[in-house]
């Protein structure tokens, strides 16, 4: 079974600074999707960014970008110009293109320091 590992249970960043959240995954498949989700204290999960494994170009969404290293099975999230509203739990998720399951990591709790 695929596994998703987030090795940083907690991270903190100064407001306006940049932070990188790590995610690694284990798979034998070549085609899949990777996601980063944000879960603020209100608990509603919000999609941050999505990456298709067949695309070599790293996905970006405004201040959020990923560093996708397919050979290393690594999918880190970079948040630039951190804002107070970025404080949340961040979950990395994997989805096979052939199977049906989504696998989530255990999450990284991000604190933004004013």
d(CA 30, CA 109): 30
- The minimum distance between CB 53 and other proteins, in angstroms, equals 12
Q: DSSP code of 85?
A: G
Q: Going by C-beta distance under 8 Å and a sequence separation of 6 or more, which residues neighbour residue 103?
A: 1, 2, 3, 4, 25, 93, 94, 95
Query: Per CB under 8 A, does 43 bind other proteins?
Result: yes
**Is residue 95 within the footprint of other proteins (CB under 8 A)?**
yes
Q: What is the residue-wise DSSP string for 20-32?
A: EE--EEE-S-SSE
DSSP-derived pairing of the beta strands 32-39 and 88-96? antiparallel
The yes or no reply on residue 87 touching other proteins (CB under 8 A) is: no
What span, in angstroms and rounded, lies between the C-alpha atoms of 107 and 92? 7
45 binds other proteins (CB under 8 A): yes
Interacting span for other proteins (CB under 8 A) from 10-18, 54-62, 77-85, 94-102: 94-102
Residue number, 14 or 30, with CB nearest to other proteins:
30
Structure tokens at 91: 């979950």
Residues 3-22 touching other proteins, rule: CB under 8 A, are: 4
In terms of CB distance, is 44 or 114 closer to other proteins? Answer: 44
Binding-site ranges for other proteins (CB under 8 A): 4, 33, 35, 37, 42-47, 50, 91, 93, 95, 97, 99-102, 104-107
């Amino acid at each position: 079974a695929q596994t998703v590992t987030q090795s940083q249970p907690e991270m903190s960043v100064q407001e306006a600074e940049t932070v990188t959240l790590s995610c690694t995954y284990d798979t034998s498949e070549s085609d899949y999707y990777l996601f980063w989700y944000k879960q603020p204290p209100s608990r509603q999960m919000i999609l941050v960014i999505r990456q298709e494994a067949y695309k070599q170009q790293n996905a970006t969404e405004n201040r959020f970008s990923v560093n996708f290293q397919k050979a290393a099975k690594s999918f880190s999230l970079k948040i630039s110009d951190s804002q107070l509203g970025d404080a949340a739990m961040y979950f990395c998720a994997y989805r096979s293109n052939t199977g049906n399951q989504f696998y989530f990591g255990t999450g990284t709790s991000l604190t933004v320091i004013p």
